[in-house]
Amino acid sequence: MRPKHLLLFVIGLTLVSCKTYYIPVDSFKQQLSGPGNSKLKEVTTKDPWGHTVTYKTYPIDSIRCVDKNGNPFALKNGPSLEIRFTDNDNNKTIFYFDRIFLERDTVVGMQSRILSIKKAIPLNSVKTIEIQDGQKKYSYVN
């Protein structure tokens, strides 16, 4: 296989493997309002360069979502899951799933693992919620 074809194959494989799922807003609220902030668990994440960071997150093993055809799916939680909120004005905000918190009717989250960029979104302004495994090389070490 030529290098050019190999590169196209790898890019195509990466795009196919990043399947997007959807979480209805009501389901999202239900799943994140269940584990209260008092039940957060501490995790340590290792990045591709070997650095580790420890933080607290919800003790959720999998996220209930649906595929593009509306079929239910349980997506395994992990540090490379990215969640995208689209508001009524079609503005998109992306967070790492394990770095978001539901505070009353507001989603607060971290947009980057490198920079401490925090953002809050009123949940009543959210039109759609999408989630996918970004295939980034982060892993839990505990």
**Could you report the per-residue pLDDT of 42-67, keeping only the tens digit for each?**
999 998 899 999 999 999 999 999 99
Q: E strands of the chain, at which residues?
A: 21-22, 41-46, 52-57, 62-66, 72-76, 81-87, 92-96, 100-103, 106-110, 118-122, 126-133, 139-140
Count of residues for the chain? Answer: 142
Q: Which helix or strand (DSSP H or E) is residue 24 part of?
A: none
**Could you report the per-residue pLDDT of 94-109, keeping only the tens digit for each?**
999 999 999 888 999 9
pLDDT at 74: 95
Show the tokens assigned to 87.
């508001």
Low-confidence ranges of the chain (pLDDT < 50): 4-16
pLDDT at 135: 79
Show the tokens assigned to 121.
């979104």
